[in-house]
Amino acid sequence: MNRLALGIAGMALLHAGPAATWLPAVRRGLPGLAGVGARDHVALTFDDGPGPESTPWFLDELARLRCRATFFVLGEMLERSPALGRRIAEEGHEMAVHGWRHDNALLTRPGRVTAEMGRAAGLVTAVTGVRPVWYRPPYGVLSAETLVAARRWELRPVLWTAWAKDWTRSATPASVLATLGPGLRGGATILLHDSDHTSAPGAWRSALGALGELVDRCRSAGLRVGPLSDHGYLA
């Protein structure tokens, strides 16, 4: 997102209210921020990892599917499992920033989001050798500080067009597919979780169990599936 677009997005957020950015109506009004991309592509993204008990299963399944994705990592999780972070990058996936901790930007003291976003971005670079491009705020909450911080650290904010609600205790592979169904179209950015760090224990299994069918459905519809870097992202 260039500076002009970022400024426009910031004004829109201030008008709509920063905590409202996760709402579908707000994201429809900001297609670039929502992650709307090329009509023949679906961006596959994962939040909250890397988790040593769960992320390797997703990497194995993605390898089986010959599919790449974007992983929005938490700095505190990557710090605990740097080898797993290197594996994500070595297997051709894109690593992006989800913050240091999974904190709501509206409830943190001034300056903390900026410092921790930079710390997380620096760790991604140190672990993978690649500077991250994307930033997704926890809970989808973009405050004025997060927008300014993203520009400072040269990160592009992006949310999602469809989420799976895979973080709940009752989630199953079938519920994940049913929830994503209406939003599964060309240009979509799909939000899943490869860790239960902030979810119900074991909830990641619902996303993992749905992953193969999800990719198959996209490909059967003539859609490519991959990371945000291949998404033809609207800047």
Q: Residues 40, 61: contact at Cβ < 8 Å?
A: no
Stated pTM of the model? 0.86
Q: Which residue has the higher pLDDT, 21 or 109?
A: 109
Lookup: tokens for 75: 């700095």
Band of the pLDDT at 8, cuts 50, 70, 90? Answer: very low
Distance CA 217, CA 176 (A): 13
Task: Give the model's confidence band at 220: pLDDT under 50 very low, under 70 low, under 90 confident, else very high.
Answer: very high
Q: With a cut of 70, say whether residue 128 has pLDDT above it.
A: yes
**Percent of the chain scoring above 70 in pLDDT:** 84
In angstroms, the CA 72 to CA 47 distance is 5
pLDDT in tens, 9-66: 443 443 333 344 444 544 455 667 889 999 999 999 999 999 999 999 999 999 999 9
What is the helix (H) or strand (E) element at residue 56, kind and residue range?
helix 55-65
Query: For the segment 66-91, what is each residue's pLDDT rounded down to a tens digit?
Result: 999 999 999 999 999 999 999 999 99
Closest CA to 41 of 208, 210, 192, 189: 189
Supply the pLDDT for residue 163: 93
Q: From CA 142, how far away is CA 32, in angstroms rounded?
A: 14
The pLDDT of residue 142: 85
More confident call, 3 vs 131:
131
C-alpha dist (Å) from residue 157 to 44, 129, 191, 229, 235 = 16, 21, 14, 13, 10
pLDDT of residue 110: 81
Tokens representing 93 are 């996936």
Average pLDDT value for residue range 220-234? 92
List pLDDT tens digits, range 163-176: 999 999 999 999 99
The string over 192-211, giving b where at least 16 C-beta atoms fall within 10 Å of a residue's C-beta and e elsewhere, is bbbbbbebeeebbebbbbbb
Instruction: Give mean pLDDT, residues 208-217.
Output: 98
What integer pLDDT is reported at residue 15 of this predicted model? 35
Q: Per the omega criterion (within 30 degrees of 0), is the bond before 50 cis? A: yes
Identify the CA nearest to 157 among candidates 73, 32, 44.
Answer: 32
Report CA-CA distances (Å) from 22 to 30, 57, 160: 11, 28, 8
pLDDT over 50 at 193, yes or no:
yes
